[in-house]
Chains A and B, each alone.
Chain A
Amino acid sequence: MDHTAGCVFLGAAMFVLGVFTMVTRRNAIYVLMGAELILNAAALNFVAFARHLGNRLDGQMFAIFIVILAAAEAAVALGIVLQIHHHFPTIDVSKADRLGD
């Protein structure tokens, strides 16, 4: 049975939830978690389509790269969060609006 559609849906759902988390949650860690969800959704999509379009390898390769880069990004992002925490007493991202009007 072909579950490609289901994987696509799932990817979409994960993407939406990840965006939702990023946009609505105040805690910086939540924002990172949302980012992870989004990345995973994309990777899932890649793999699903790779499988669907002839068992190719490209999607999987790309998904591996996504994983690699997600790891790098998570490390750096957490470092940034810690820096924010050092500068501001809070990691409430809604409070980081110095560039605003």
Chain B
Amino acid sequence: MDFFQDATPGGYALAILLLPLAGFLWNACTYRSEFTRKHGHMVPLATIGAALFCAIVIFKHSVFDAEPAGEHGAAAHAAASHEPAAHEDAAAEGHEGAGAPGSLADPRWRWSSKDHGDYYRIIDTGPLRIDAGITIDHLTATMLLVVTIVAFLVHLYSSSYMHGDPRFSRFFAFLQLFSFSMLGLILTDNLLLLFCFWELVGVCSYFLIGFWFEKDEPPKASMKAFMTNRFGDVGFLIGILLVFRLFGTLDLATLYAKLQAVAEGSASIPPLFGWEAGTLLTVAGLCLFMGPMAKSAQVPMHVWLPDAMAGPTPVSALIHAATMVAAGVYMVGRIYFFFTPAVLGFIAVIGTITALVAATIGLVHDNIKKVLAYSTCSQLGYMMLSLGVGGYSAGLFHLYTHAFFKACLFLGAGSVIHSVHTEDMREMGGLKSKMPVTYKTMLLATLALAGIPGLSGAFSKEMIVEHALMWGWSHGAAAMLPALIAIGGGGLTFFYMMRLIYLTFYGTPRDHHKFDHAHESPAPMTIPLIVLAFLSVFSVGWPIPFLGGKKLPELLAPPPALASIATGHAPHEGHGGFLLAFAVLLVSIGVLVVAYRFYQRTYKQRAPGPEAWVARLRPLHTTVRRLYYVDEIYEATIVRFAGAAARVLAVVDQKGIDAVVNGVGAVTQVLAKAGAAFDRVVVDGLVNVWATVSQGLGGKLRRLQTGNLQDYLAFAVGGMALVTLFFLFLA
């Protein structure tokens, strides 16, 4: 039976999507019950574990079972037994032709629920039709696996970390909601639904950052995160509108087909606003990129990420290291076929700037979480850089590997914070002996991050550098800058990460009181650390036993046809060779040595250390420390402007709109009074007049009844006379 020919993947995918939602609803509806208050983590853990299982199933089938039994499949099999060095042959061979494994043209590598008639029509207004379906390809399957693994481990970790918190079950409800949103974002095949889930993820981030809202920082930070994300989402939405206007559809598969037609010349995009097709695509691409720019914390919209560390550490691990910020990178990967070379160049530039700036800031902070946050920001910059220079799979791989080791680092940091009750590294030190598991796992993750060969992080980083070099080589001298910065940034990364490890775990403890209290964390916290460290080392670049001894990259070759449409050239999957890897390794080791010596000299031998350096570089240090004053710039411009605009509008509302409303009220009052007066005077008056007339007339006529006979007689005769007159003269 072929897993993909029937609708079974759809069933698993739907389960992945709905299980966390069910967990969220469960926790939300039963939060008062005894069970949920004490064990609010159990149901969510179960649901996310089941989602993980489904993700594994899908992954296995999409990557493993869907190997075509043809020539190309055999070639791929044959290539699997070679060493990494010979990887290039297989890859080069595998990427020729449209029917190669990994090619989108092979329908087996992309499963869409719409092909099986399974989709949910959300909107159908004639011109606009939104059908919600599920698409599974390699990108989706891998991402699902990564997200569910990290989510499951974070759930496990939180059951211990958040123990004793008064809103324990609510935390898990939010985690579940977030998982649902993130998984939905991955699974959807429609741009508008992607945007919906995008927003939902941002909302969950808002809830989770501001989880401890009694404190000062979290509410401000969550608002800042949400606002910055919204700012980017405006661009995203404009991009979506442009796409719809240009192509009339928001379904990704249809868009791909249409763009393919445009690239082949069989269709064309009509001019709009006086712009030609190329410019239109570029503008749309830039607008669309605004979303990932904000969500993946690229400069200049990175300002929310460090402040987001005010949330609980598991949140930082899940959302702000592994998944949500990665959603931006994922989205760029999804819509990769849409970006023109100009847009890709812009992405590369932004990524480069981010990588460098964030790395420099990470050097000067003392808060362990903030250093990790800037590290995340920098790594995201690397991913964007890679995607911009054409390294599609390199960037995505870096996403996966980064998810694992960054999550490990954050959870480890959380473990340390939990133990010594501080986030300031100046108060730590020498914890190596007290928290051995945490120390070892964090060290492994750091080495992976730094790109030590043999660990997964090295592999993806190396691929990025390679692509950058090739791109720079083919695009001229100035274009070599990203590559150089990639390498240099790698050094900086290693430096500040080692600084972090050293300050935390080595040397003599700077705060003895805290040191004495330090202890290793309980099992639910250390187990995820171990698992993640393991994954950091082995996930990429090593043969995977139970998948038949293949290495991950071989199984997940990217669809080349995507990039070729927009960039005009096929992405290269070859590498610069062994030499480059060695060069990178040398740089890493050199930096390691420098850092170690520097800090060791400083803290053990009291040599002139950082303080002296700080004094020498005071202006630079302050600038970097103050985050390049980006926040201040924002404050002065946008925030002030928004505040002023809000005040103006408030006045308009008060004076203008309220005046109108009050005026209407006053007029109504007047009319009501007039009506009442009318009723009183006229209507009642009429009635009263009647009564008065009757009374008066009656009173007057009563006097006729005098009782006097003669009067009666007089009346009778008078009447008779009148009648006679009448008949005499008038009748």
Contacts and interface: CB of A to CB of B under 8 A. Distances in A.
Interface stretch (B368-376, B382-390, B471-479, B707-715): B707-715
A98 interface: yes
Interface string B687-725: 000000000000000110111111101100100000000
Interface in B471-519: none
A100 B713 contact: no
**Interface size range on B against A:** 10 to 19
Nearest to A19: B717
Contact of A23 (B705, B706, B707, B717): B717
Interface in A6-40: 19, 22-24, 31
B706 to A, nearest CB: 5
B438 to A, nearest CB: 116
A101 B710 contact: no
A94 B702 contact: no
A96 to B, nearest CB: 7
A53 interface: no
A100 B710 contact: no
Nearest to B715: A23
B702 A23 contact: no
A99 B708 CA distance: 8
Give the size category of A's interface with B: 10 to 19
Of the listed residues A19, A31, A98, the one surrounded by the most CB atoms of chain B closer than 10 A to its CB is: A19
A99 B717 contact: no
A22 B713 contact: yes
Chain A CB within 10 Å, residue with most, of B702, B706, B709? B709
Contacts of A93: 708-710
A97 interface: yes
Contacts of A101: 702-703, 705-707
Nearest to B701: A101
A97 B706 CA distance: 7
Interface in A44-101: 93-94, 96-101
B710 A99 contact: no
Contacts of A100: 705-708
Nearest to A97: B707
Contacts of B717: 19, 23
B705 A94 contact: no
Nearest to A24: B710
A97 B709 CA distance: 8
Nearest to A18: B717
Contacts of B703: 101
Nearest to B710: A23
Contacts of A94: 708, 710
A25 B427 CA distance: 135
Contacts of A22: 710, 713
A93 B709 CA distance: 7
B417 to A, nearest CB: 108
Contacts of A98: 707
B707 to A, nearest CB: 2
A65 B302 CA distance: 134
6 contacts: A19-B714, A22-B710, A23-B710, A24-B710, A93-B710, A100-B707
Given A19-B713, A97-B708, A100-B706, 14 more contacts: A19-B714, A22-B710, A23-B713, A23-B717, A24-B710, A93-B708, A96-B708, A97-B706, A97-B707, A98-B707, A99-B705, A101-B702, A101-B703, A101-B705
List 10 A-B pairs, minimum CB-CB distance, nearest first: A100-B707, A97-B707, A101-B705, A23-B714, A99-B707, A100-B706, A23-B710, A97-B708, A19-B717, A101-B702
